[in-house]
A = this chain, B = another copy of it.
Amino acid sequence: MNLKQLSEHLKLSQTTVSRALNGYPEVSEKTRKRVQDAANALNYQPNARAKGLATGRTHAIGHVIPVSGQREMVNPVFGDFIAGAGQTYAAAGYEIVISLVDDSREEDAYRAIHTRGSIDGIIVHGPLMNDPRIPLLTSLGLPFVVHGRASEVTTPYSWLDMNNVRAFERATEFLLDLGHRRIALINGLEFMDFAHRRREGFTAALTARGVAPDPALMRSEEMTEINGHRSAAQMLAQDSPPTAFLVSSMITAIGVRRAILEAGLVLGRDVSVITHDDDLGYLKNGSDVPIFTATRSSVRQAGRRAAELLLALIDDPGAGPLTDMLEAELIIGTSTGPAPQ
């Protein structure tokens, strides 16, 4: 069933039918009703391609996720972010187009996406400290929103970020208040912008209290269970082991917990752990009482919000860079306690 058939069926012109369905005023309410009823009854849906060709709008958003090279794995938060963004899109009638882009050919890929014109806007995932995609997309003139920020990029752009500095600062302060002085940081890869910022918050809090950050207590690695376990095990075996860990993700924290238990220590008594918790659907931090004390910020919510920003930008490209900062909450679980004497 296409427009032509529908209009013939109704004995109206395609123009009138199109206008009736798209809410233009040049058509009487009576005919509009008649048209809409027929469209529903006959299960008419306009062809997305044709509509896109005619309007220049695709009603699709691109999510470009970098793969291979240094970061072979697909980010585990990706699914939840998409789920959040998807809610916003669905409500606005947008579709999601995923592009997996090998970061060696990143520039070409973004160019191609743009000129192929199958997308109205882009969400940029996993920004690096100095991410070349941002100036590139700016010069292409394609609306985009970055999930996160790129510290070293100075030109303005739209982003949505969690306040990583503040979150890790607060977490560190909380541990310091509990009397901990030897606090370890098990961070993500620090060429990723968020990880860099978290270290900033961590060291800032320490130095503000006159505690010198100890390089032996800081790791930067992919956020896996294995890595968390290995790093924590090594640190706990040191001469003066840390009494607390600040960890960058739930999965890593699970590895840290394993190392602690294996060392015969009790979590929350002998060793404290605070983790960042993205509030992932499939990796809840406890049900009523959280297991880990955590800086929590829902990545699903971030997805919803980022999508809102992007849609606003698409509706009014002149709206200038839109930004939004989400604050993480510090939730208290059973994994922290006063520093042992």
Residues of A within 8 A of B (CB): 1, 43-50, 52-53, 58, 60, 67, 72-76, 78-80, 82-83, 86-87, 90, 95-100, 111-112, 115-118, 223-226, 251, 254, 257-258, 261-262, 280-284, 286-287
Q: Which residues on the B side are within 8 Å of A45 (C-beta)?
A: 111-112, 115-116
CB-based contact B97/A97 at 8 Å:
yes
CB-based contact B226/A286 at 8 Å:
yes
A263 → B minimal CB distance (Å)? 11
With both beta carbons as reference points, the residue of chain B lying nearest to A118 in the complex is identified as B48
CB-based contact B118/A95 at 8 Å:
yes
Q: Which residues on the B side are within 8 Å of A95 (C-beta)?
A: 97-99, 118
Contact (A75, B282) CB under 8 Å given A67-B83, A100-B90: yes
- Expressed in whole angstroms, the Cα–Cα distance for A283 and B52 within the complex equals 40
CB-based contact B225/A73 at 8 Å:
no
- Expressed in whole angstroms, the Cα–Cα distance for A314 and B130 within the complex equals 41
13 residue pairs A–B, Cβ–Cβ below 8 Å: A45-B111, A49-B53, A74-B79, A74-B82, A74-B281, A75-B282, A78-B79, A83-B100, A86-B100, A95-B98, A95-B118, A96-B97, A97-B98
CB-based contact A251/B47 at 8 Å:
no
Q: Which residues on the B side are within 8 Å of A79 (C-beta)?
A: 74-76, 78-79
- Expressed in whole angstroms, the Cα–Cα distance for A43 and B257 within the complex equals 52
With both beta carbons as reference points, the residue of chain B lying nearest to A73 in the complex is identified as B281
CB-based contact B282/A74 at 8 Å:
yes
Q: Which residues on the B side are within 8 Å of A73 (C-beta)?
A: 281-282
Q: Which residues on the B side are within 8 Å of A224 (C-beta)?
A: 282-284
- Expressed in whole angstroms, the Cα–Cα distance for A48 and B80 within the complex equals 29
- Expressed in whole angstroms, the Cα–Cα distance for A10 and B87 within the complex equals 46
A296 → B minimal CB distance (Å)? 15
A176 → B minimal CB distance (Å)? 28
- Expressed in whole angstroms, the Cα–Cα distance for A223 and B78 within the complex equals 18
Contact (A98, B99) CB under 8 Å given A43-B111, A83-B67, A118-B49: no
- Expressed in whole angstroms, the Cα–Cα distance for A60 and B254 within the complex equals 38
A266 → B minimal CB distance (Å)? 10
Q: Which residues on the B side are within 8 Å of A75 (C-beta)?
A: 79, 282
Q: Which residues on the B side are within 8 Å of A67 (C-beta)?
A: 83, 86
CB-based contact B52/A49 at 8 Å:
yes
- Expressed in whole angstroms, the Cα–Cα distance for A257 and B76 within the complex equals 21
Given A74-B83, A76-B76, A258-B261, 4 further pairs, Cβ under 8 A: A45-B112, A47-B115, A50-B53, A74-B282
Q: Which of A79, A262, A287 has the most CB of B within 10 A?
A: A79
Q: Which of A48, A80, A116, A261 has the most CB of B within 10 A?
A: A48
Contact (A76, B116) CB under 8 Å given A49-B58, A86-B100: no
Q: Which residues on the B side are within 8 Å of A99 (C-beta)?
A: 95-96
CB-based contact A225/B53 at 8 Å:
no
- Expressed in whole angstroms, the Cα–Cα distance for A197 and B224 within the complex equals 30
- Expressed in whole angstroms, the Cα–Cα distance for A58 and B112 within the complex equals 16
Q: Which residues on the B side are within 8 Å of A111 (C-beta)?
A: 43, 45
